[in-house]
Amino acid sequence: MTTETDDVVDGILSVVAAYANLSIEMSALGYDDDLFHAGMTSHSSVTVMLELQARFGIEFPDEMLQRSTFESVSSMRSAVCELLIKS
């Protein structure tokens, strides 16, 4: 992982911790763990998406607006990095 990717992961972790309303602590989860199984609802995933857009200055295109994009820290990192490269 590069420092830039570390910054993306740190930002995602911060947003998820603040807005995903998980039923367990983030520290108990791995980057590939399913956040929906950890208590994130579809409503809180929308909040997470909006906060990620604001934090990174990106906009998720329609084809990325699916559960799998926001299912884990790893999947969000991939999506955010892809969008940052395109911008």
Number of domains in the chain: 1
Residue 13: pLDDT above 70? Answer: yes
The CATH number of residue 76's host domain is 1.10.1200.10
- Whole-structure pTM value: 0.92
The tens digit of pLDDT for each residue in 68-86 reads 999 999 999 999 999 999 8
Residue with tokens 């994130």: 40
- Domain of 20, in residue numbers: 3-86
Task: Determine how many CB atoms are found less than 10 A away from the CB of residue 26.
Answer: 16
Residue 50: pLDDT above 60? Answer: yes
On the CB side of 77, how many CA atoms lie within 13 Å of its CA? 17
Question: Residue 77 in contact with residue 71, Cβ under 8 Å?
Answer: no
**How remote is the C-alpha of 15 from its chain's centroid?**
7
